[in-house]
Amino acid sequence: MTRRYFPIGVINLVTNGILLPKMDEEFWDICHAQQIDVCPTKYPIKVDYKNLEKKAEEKRVKYHYFGDATGCMWTHKVIDISGSRFENCSFMYCPNANLCPVLKHGKIFPCPTARHIDKFNKAYNTELHICEKDYIDIYKIDKLEDIMNFLTKPIPFCRYCNTPAIKETDWGISKGDIAEWT
């Protein structure tokens, strides 16, 4: 469907790669037929990247790494559950804003943090609030510029992000402790 709407654009399937070894032949055939590049990020996890490279070559699918996080540090986002940060300041220091917008169910969020905060709320029994101004509904806009204007400004949810405090930490298995995020 994406190829239908973007007949000549580059389409990159960016993924952590965990499920790639389980994808069936049809997946690889579609990637080849629709000219979709498969772009995993290498993480220090048990994924046989060499085998994936071989598979992509065999299926004549373009394959390249989006990033290589093996042996790297992990960017530790800092959530302020009180929601008392200045939105403009959070946005100004944010490494995610405009870099990784998320479209889901017709709504565009400027970052994965706001879009997936429901998972955080569920895991830690918190109530970080999303409102209608935190996303733009693609079915309610008049022109492309509306999206571009939306993405260049802070959203109310930015008050939950302590972006100046973002730090690098070692990779490791999560203990499921909220302190890993705050």
Does 79 engage in binding with ligand SF4 (CB under 6 A)?
no
Nearer Cβ to ligand SF4, position 61 or 113? 113
Does 162 engage in binding with ligand SF4 (CB under 6 A)?
no
Q: HSE (CB half, 13 Å, CA atoms) of 82?
A: 4
Does 114 engage in binding with ligand SF4 (CB under 6 A)?
yes
The end-to-end CA distance of the chain, in Å, is 39
Task: State the nearest-atom distance from the C-beta of 14 to ligand SF4, in Å.
Answer: 18
Q: Are 57 and 29 in contact, with CB atoms under 8 Å apart?
A: no
Whole-number CA gyration radius for the chain: 19
Q: Are 135 and 114 in contact, with CB atoms under 8 Å apart?
A: yes
Q: Which of 36, 52, 111, 136 binds ligand SF4 (CB under 6 A)?
A: 111
Q: Are 87 and 149 in contact, with CB atoms under 8 Å apart?
A: no
Nearer Cβ to ligand SF4, position 17 or 163? 163
Give the separation between CA 157 and CA 4, rounded to whole angstroms.
34
Q: One-letter amino acid identity for 146?
A: D
Does 36 engage in binding with ligand SF4 (CB under 6 A)?
no
Does 157 engage in binding with ligand SF4 (CB under 6 A)?
yes
Does 110 engage in binding with ligand SF4 (CB under 6 A)?
yes
Nearer Cβ to ligand SF4, position 69 or 78? 78
Length in residues, the chain:
182
Supply 168's token pair.
């690098």
Nearer Cβ to ligand SF4, position 63 or 160? 160
Q: Which residues bind ligand SF4 (CB under 6 A)?
A: 90-91, 94, 96-97, 110-111, 113-114, 154-155, 157-158, 161, 163
